[in-house]
Structure formats: C-alpha cells, structure tokens
C-alpha cells in the first residue's frame, strides 16, 4: 500500500474544533476513541495518564494528544489538574461512578472552578441505576438492550465485535453529547454533565427495530427478518474461492437486477417478500454464488444497483479501488489505519502525533488565552 500519511499528518491543530481544549482522563475503549475523533477534528486534547503508563504514542486511538503522566492520588497533582481545568472547554472521563468524586475531581468541584466546562462521563451502565457499580464490557451492555439477542444465527446470538456498545453506543454518543453541550455552553455560558452510558446508546441505536417490531414487521427470532440474514436478498454468500460477497437487494428494482445478473429465472424467486419461501430461496442463492469466484462476481455485479460488495478483510480493505481513491485508510509510522471521519470542506481534520508533555507548560499556555 502507498504511504498516504503526508496529506493527513500535521503538528498544527486544524479542523472545525481548533481552539477547543479537552482534558481526557486516560481509559480504555470508547473514551480514547471519542477523544481521537475530537483531536482529529482539531481540538487540543491533553491526556492525563498514570505515572509509568508508557503510553503508545503512535497508536491510532491515542493519536493527536499531549500526554501527561500524573499520580492522581497526590493532592498536589489534583491541584495542578484543577488549575488546568480552569481553562478547559471539556473534560472526558471513563471511570466507574464515584471515582472522580473520591479523587476530588467530581462535577461539583470542577464546575465550581470552571462553570462553563462540559463534563463528559463515559460508562457502561450509566451514573446511576442498580448496575451502575458493576463491571461490564460491550457484550453485557448490548445484552440488556435487545441488540445482542437480535444479531447472530438462528441458534445463538453472535457478538458484533465491540462496535455496537463501546464505539457506536458509547464513543459516538459521547462525542455528540459533548459537542451539543459545547454549543449550548457558548449561548448560556454554563457547562453541564454529559452522562453517556453504553447501554443507553446501544438502546438508542435499536430505535428502528423497536418501530418495526411495533408495526409487526420484525420478529424476535434471529435470522428470520429482512435485515438479519433471514431474507435471501440481504445477506452474505460464499463464492467458489471460499471468499464472500454481500448483497442488499431490498427494493424491487434492485432485486430485479440481481435476478437478471445472477441468472435467477426460476419463478420461485418471484416471491421476494414471502417469508415462508426465504429458506428455500436462500439455499438456491447459496448454490448459485458458489459457481463463481469472488472476483468473477465483482466483475459482474460491483458498481451496479444490485447493492453489492465483496466482503474484504482488514488487510484487503485499504487496497479496494474505492477505499484507495478516497484515501479512507492512511499509513502512519508504518501502521495502516482509518483516516479521520467525517470530512469537512473548509476545515479538514488531520492526524497529529501524540507527544509527551508537562502539565505546567500546558497550564501556562492555556492561561495565556486562545
């Protein structure tokens, strides 16, 4: 793969959030991912990590930060943090509820020092509720929302990596919440707490499926619906080469094109929306797609209105012509990683390196104005 890092790399903050200051308390998963997005969009993110953490300054999720090592059990260090936060726009933390309060950095204390601060809290279960103090991971947070039960084979739910809870329902909702609170703060001059719980965000992502269930268009049986692999016209199929392709021919005109290009003249395929016919039609498509390799199907279907794409591995994805043309992936420090998203026409996001820093230097800089 060509090294496309140069156009996307910078030591200077630019992007729509340039000038905004964010203090991140180091964590794992959704918090760092959210702060990566804020940093890519130009925010100055200062990460406070434990002494001796030896943070990987070249990791994708940790890019764009100034990293400060501090002992947060030291009262002198807490005083330095409060001094830094006095000139910050937002704070992001992902500890269990009550930890920041015990450190002397809870919302009441911090907002007293900086009333306009947006205080972003990232947890799995939320700041309150019967499970608030329980440990958990993505798989648990999406389990209680109905999401995990709806994903998988007919026999068993299948974890969708940790995309739904940690990143979709967690990091992205935290980013939206922090940005919304920053906009409101510009009008009111007042900050507030953003309680971003992964179980709440994952539940929100399920909104359409609750609607479909209420309308009688979705059943709770996995692999029996039109978006969960139950329908023959929306799913993944193995090819002769043992690689896979995906089709999403939901609309009648797309389905008609699928039939045309795949040679599906069998009149049984007329019953597109007959759920009872789906298992038989799905097996017929299994047999059809195994007659050619993935590359052969790509030549026939890719770029058409079938709604078709090859199923690529992470190694293959950056080399796909569309991904390559858009520079969707970049290579930085020898590591291929996704480029910043979304894209801005006038204030483009950039990838910046993480650097070790001193809290006193940053505090002096922030006290000097913007």
- Annotated catalytic residue 137: yes
The angle formed by the CA atoms of residues 228, 208 and 339, to the nearest 5 degrees, is 75
| Encoded tokens for 315 | 């190694």
DSSP bridge pairs for 207: none
Mapping DSSP to helix (H, G, I), strand (E, B) and coil, where does residue 22 land? strand
- Annotated catalytic residue 358: no
CB 82 within 8 Å of CB 110: yes
Residues in CB range of 168: below 8 A, 6 or more apart: 201, 202, 205
Active-site choice (166, 200, 228, 232): 166
Contacts made by residues 67-75, CB under 8 angstroms, sequence distance 24+: 67/354, 67/355, 67/356, 67/357, 68/356, 68/357, 68/358, 68/359, 68/362, 69/356, 70/359, 72/48, 72/103, 72/105, 73/103, 75/104
How far is 70 from 67, CA to CA, in rounded Å? 10
How far is 204 from 186, CA to CA, in rounded Å? 27
Active-site choice (113, 137, 195, 353): 137
DSSP bridge pairs for 67: 47, 356
> Which residues are marked as active site?
137, 166
């Amino acid at each position: 793969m060509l090294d496309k890092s140069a156009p996307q790399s910078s030591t200077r903050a630019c992007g729509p959030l340039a000038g905004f200051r964010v203090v991140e308390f180091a964590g794992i998963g959704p918090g760092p991912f959210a702060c990566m997005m804020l940093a890519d969009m130009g925010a100055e993110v200062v990460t406070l990590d434990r002494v001796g953490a030896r943070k990987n300054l070249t990791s994708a999720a940790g890019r764009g930060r100034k990293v400060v090592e501090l002992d947060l059990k030291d009262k002198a260090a807490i005083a330095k943090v409060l001094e830094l936060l006095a000139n910050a726009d937002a704070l992001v933390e992902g500890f269990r509820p009550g930890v920041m309060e015990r450190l002397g950095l809870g919302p009441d204390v911090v907002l007293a020092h900086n009333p306009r601060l947006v205080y972003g809290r990232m947890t799995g279960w939320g700041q309150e509720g019967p499970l608030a103090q329980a440990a958990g991971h993505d798989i648990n947070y999406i389990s209680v929302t109905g999401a995990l039960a709806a994903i998988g084979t007919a026999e068993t739910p299948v974890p969708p990596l940790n995309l739904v809870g940690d990143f979709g329902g967690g990091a992205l909702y935290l980013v939206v919440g922090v940005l919304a609170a920053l906009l409101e703060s510009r009008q009111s001059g007042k900050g507030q707490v953003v309680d971003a719980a992964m179980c709440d965000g994952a539940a929100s992502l399920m909104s359409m499926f609750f609607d479909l269930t209420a309308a009688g268009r979705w059943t709770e049986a996995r692999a029996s619906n039109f978006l969960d692999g139950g329908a023959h016209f929306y799913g993944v199929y193995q090819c002769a080469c043992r690689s896979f392709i995906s089709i999403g021919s939901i609309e009648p005109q797309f389905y008609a094109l699928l039939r045309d290009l795949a040679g599906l003249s069998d009149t049984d395929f007329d019953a597109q929306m007959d759920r009872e016919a789906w298992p038989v039609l799905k097996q017929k498509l299994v047999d059809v797609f195994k007659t050619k390799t993935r590359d052969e199907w790509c030549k026939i279907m890719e770029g058409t209105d079938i709604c078709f794409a090859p199923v690529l591995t992470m190694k293959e994805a950056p080399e796909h012509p569309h991904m390559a043309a858009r520079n969707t992936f970049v290579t930085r420090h020898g590591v291929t990683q996704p480029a910043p998203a979304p894209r801005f026409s006038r204030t483009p996001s950039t990838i910046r390196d993480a650097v070790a820093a001193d809290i006193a230097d940053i505090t002096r800089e922030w006290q000097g104005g913007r």
